[in-house]
């Protein structure tokens, strides 16, 4: 407990009112061109903050958030880890990459036990996960490395259940990853292996639900992966993608329906049976938790699993440390301790966290260092606004108004010293690739900021506005020349992934003279100390410095 004691700031008296941090998810600082929905949006509140308040830009990708290189896009998980931790930790992608390169993953007990189980049973070693190089949830090279290693260790049979991306990478880029996987399998099969793709589907229809928003996605994946059941049957992964695109012109990879691959007689190639081992090779946790529960929970209510096979199930990482889910995992996640939330709770500072379902875990679980629950329920209040189960481009306003309603009530109650909220619009609508909807999404959150500012002013509080990564700031893909890429029909190619853009940082404290500190290459990890600064506390040991002088 002694290392969690906060010291009063030596030069700054605390802000009189509450300190509110607003995360505009996916709202980066883009190129100010026709692909930049943030710039195209009418945002008088954000523009006013930029003109009148201390303002800068923060790094929100690559090494600034613990990813392997600055070519890696940030994401909401690592962004909120950095915001809440006040420090930079090696994150999932980097941890897994290093574990594979060093051999740590393959020397671990879980890998060795998985291999031993299938060698003894004769059942395949199954791999389920997102097939791309987006490096947000997974990376195809991790899968390829495990397939090669499994063959070198005498695993005769393996099955891949491939989830197509089109979200963290180009919206119709699947065939590049499909061809690379099928080439890898062909090489191993030429040496005598029996390694095949068994099932698949798009990530937004199959398996990868999060926050219990749509268990039907998980059920479809379960039936395809485990039971080999689906309305769609194909002979190869490439055939599946091409045929569905031909049938549904304009469909993007993330929305491909679930499917099963079959042999010449029509039998599924890879149902998961007793004696098998299953590795879910995504390293990011939020969209891996529900399928992990389906494999591991003895008593399970969300859907009828049918006969649950007796398998050894492991995650690439442990997706929820408090729930110990899953119990077996290949690579230990970063240990993130002494977060901002824990410091505040241990020092009696009341907190409020709010978002809608799509990002609720980010202002709670990820913010708190991948920790479920509250540090001190008597001092913390978490409010989840249920998300709509509708296409985001059809409801770009999402639940922004309801989040603001709850936040205004919390501000006016006087019960909370620090508040944090996430508006998911810029990210979730940005992922759809619909520029006009993304413009509306950004305008919606600007309207909500306009509701918050006068209340902060009245309460003599402070408002920090930032983002966790870019997305809506770049709605069209680029070609090699740097111009906008086009589709075969001449229309602009939408970009559905995150971006490498910096994010805005504005701080409003009515009645207080604030100025920015000279911080070299500021990033998201600097925000925690800035919150503490406004609350009248010094940054704890090891935290990145405050952005305020």
Q: What percent of the chain has pLDDT over 70?
A: 99
DSSP letter string, 174-231: HHHHHHHHHHHHHHHHHTT-EEEEEEEEETTTSS---TTS-HHHHHHHHHHHTT---S
pLDDT of residue 319: 84
pLDDT tens, residue by residue, 55-101: 999 999 999 999 888 888 898 989 999 999 999 998 888 899 999 99
Q: What percent of the chain has pLDDT over 90?
A: 90
pLDDT > 60? residue 482: yes
Count CB-CB contacts under 10 A for residue 39.
17
Reported confidence tier of residue 514, pLDDT bands at 50, 70, 90: very high
CATH, range 2-90+335-535: 3.40.720.10
pTM here is 0.78
pLDDT of residue 335: 85
Arithmetic mean of pLDDT, 212-221: 95
pLDDT of residue 145: 98
Mean pLDDT, the chain, whole residue set: 96
Arithmetic mean of pLDDT, 472-484: 92
User: Which residues have C-beta within 8 Å of that of residue 191, sequence separation ≥ 6?
Assistant: 151
pLDDT of residue 497: 84
Give the per-residue SS3 of 472-517.
CCCCECECCCCCECECCCCCECECCCCECCCEEEEEECCCCCCCEC
The span from the CA of 110 to the CA of 311, in Å, is 13
The span from the CA of 202 to the CA of 241, in Å, is 10
Q: Which class in CATH covers the domain with range 93-331?
A: alpha beta
Residue 518 DSSP class:
-
At 134, list the tokens. 């987006």
At 97, list the tokens. 């990459």
4 by Cβ neighbours in 10 Å (0-12 / 13-18 / 19+) ranks as middle
The span from the CA of 2 to the CA of 486, in Å, is 58
pLDDT of residue 322: 55
From start to end of 49-113, where are the E strands? 55-58
State the pairing for strand pair 259-261/233-234.
parallel
State the pairing for strand pair 462-466/157-164.
unpaired
The span from the CA of 252 to the CA of 271, in Å, is 26
Task: Return the CA Rg of the chain.
Answer: 24
Annotated domain spans of the chain: 2-90+335-535, 93-331
Question: 81 near 279, Cβ under 8 Å?
Answer: no
pLDDT tens, residue by residue, 346-374: 999 999 999 999 999 999 999 999 898 99
pLDDT of residue 321: 63
Q: What crossing angle do the helices spanning 174-190 and 237-247 adopt, rounded to 10°?
A: 150
Task: Please name every residue paired with 126 in a beta bridge, in sequence order, or none if there are none.
Answer: 159, 278
pLDDT tens, residue by residue, 140-194: 999 999 999 999 999 999 999 999 999 999 999 999 999 999 999 999 999 999 9
pLDDT of residue 480: 81
What is the CA angle 129-167-80, rounded to 5? 85
Count CB-CB contacts under 10 A for residue 310.
10
Q: Which of 249, 270, 251 is nearest to 259 (CA)?
A: 270
Across 435-447, b (16+ Cβ under 10 Å) vs e yields bebbbbbbbbbbb
pLDDT > 80? residue 323: no
The span from the CA of 399 to the CA of 394, in Å, is 13
Q: Which parts of 394-475 fold into alpha helices (H)? A: 400-413, 425-430, 435-459
The span from the CA of 457 to the CA of 447, in Å, is 16
Reported confidence tier of residue 213, pLDDT bands at 50, 70, 90: confident
User: How far does the chain reach from its first CA to its final CA, in angstroms?
Assistant: 28
- As annotated, the active-site residues are 76
Question: 210 near 290, Cβ under 8 Å?
Answer: yes
Backbone φ and ψ of 181, nearest 5°: -70, -45
Q: Which of 321, 253, 270 is nearest to 292 (CA)?
A: 321
pLDDT tens, residue by residue, 303-319: 999 999 999 999 999 88
Reported confidence tier of residue 324, pLDDT bands at 50, 70, 90: confident
The span from the CA of 287 to the CA of 283, in Å, is 10
Question: 292 near 246, Cβ under 8 Å?
Answer: no
Reported confidence tier of residue 2, pLDDT bands at 50, 70, 90: low
pLDDT tens, residue by residue, 519-534: 999 999 999 999 999 9
């Amino acid at each position: 407990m002694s290392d969690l004691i906060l010291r009063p700031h030596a030069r700054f008296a605390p802000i009189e009112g509450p300190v509110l941090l607003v995360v505009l998810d996916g709202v980066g600082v883009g190129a100010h061109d026709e692909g930049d929905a943030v710039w195209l949006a009418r945002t008088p509140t954000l523009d006013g903050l930029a003109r009148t308040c201390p303002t800068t830009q923060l790094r929100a990708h690559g090494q600034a958030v613990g990813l392997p290189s600055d070519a890696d896009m940030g994401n909401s998980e690592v962004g909120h880890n950095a915001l809440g931790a006040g420090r930079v930790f090696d994150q999932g992608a980097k941890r897994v990459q290093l574990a594979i390169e060093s051999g740590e993953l393959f020397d671990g007990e879980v890998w060795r036990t998985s291999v031993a189980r299938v060698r003894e049973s004769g059942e395949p070693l199954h791999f389920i996960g997102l097939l791309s190089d987006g490096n947000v949830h997974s990376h195809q090279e991790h899968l390829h490395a495990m397939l090669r290693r499994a063959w070198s260790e005498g695993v005769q049979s393996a099955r891949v259940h491939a989830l197509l991306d089109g979200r963290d990478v180009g919206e119709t880029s699947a065939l590049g990853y499909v061809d690379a996987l099928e080439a890898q399998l062909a090489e191993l099969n030429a040496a005598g292996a029996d390694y095949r793709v068994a099932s698949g589907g798009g990530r937004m229809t199959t398996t990868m639900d999060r926050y219990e928003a749509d268990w039907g996605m998980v059920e479809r994946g379960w039936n395809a992966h485990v039971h080999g059941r689906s309305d769609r049957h194909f002979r190869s992964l490439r055939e599946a993608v091409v045929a569905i695109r031909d049938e549904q012109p304009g469909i993007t990879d993330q929305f491909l329906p679930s499917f099963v691959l079959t042999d010449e007689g029509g039998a599924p190639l890879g149902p998961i049976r007793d004696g098998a081992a299953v590795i879910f090779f995504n390293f990011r946790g939020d969209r891996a938790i529900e399928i992990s529960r389906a494999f591991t929970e003895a008593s399970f209510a969300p859907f009828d699993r049918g006969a649950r096979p007796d398998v050894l199930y492991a995650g690439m990482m442990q997706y929820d440390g408090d729930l110990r889910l899953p119990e077996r995992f290949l690579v230990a996640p970063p240990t993130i301790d002494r977060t901002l939330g824990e410091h505040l709770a241990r020092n009696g500072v009341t907190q409020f966290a709010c978002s809608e379902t799509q990002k609720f875990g980010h202002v709670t679980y990820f913010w708190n260092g991948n920790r479920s629950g509250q540090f001190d329920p008597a001092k913390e209040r978490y409010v989840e606004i249920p998300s709509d189960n509708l296409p985001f481009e059809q409801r770009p306003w999402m639940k922004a108004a309801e989040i603001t309603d709850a936040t205004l009530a919390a501000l006016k109650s006087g019960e909370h010293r620090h508040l944090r909220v996430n508006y998911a619009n810029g990210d979730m609508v940005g992922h759809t690739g619909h520029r006009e909807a993304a413009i509306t999404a950004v305008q919606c959150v600007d309207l909500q900021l306009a509701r918050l500012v006068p209340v902060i002013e009245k309460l003599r509080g402070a408002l920090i506005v930032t983002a966790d990564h870019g997305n809506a700031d770049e709605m069209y893909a680029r070609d090699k020349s740097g111009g906008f890429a086009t589709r075969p029909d001449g229309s602009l190619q939408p970009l559905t992934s995150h971006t490498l853009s910096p994010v805005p940082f504005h701080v409003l404290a009515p009645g207080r003279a604030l100025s920015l500190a000279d911080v070299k290459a500021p990033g998201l990890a600097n925000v925690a100390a800035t919150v503490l600064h406004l609350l009248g506390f010094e940054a704890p040991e090891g935290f990145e410095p405050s952005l305020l002088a």
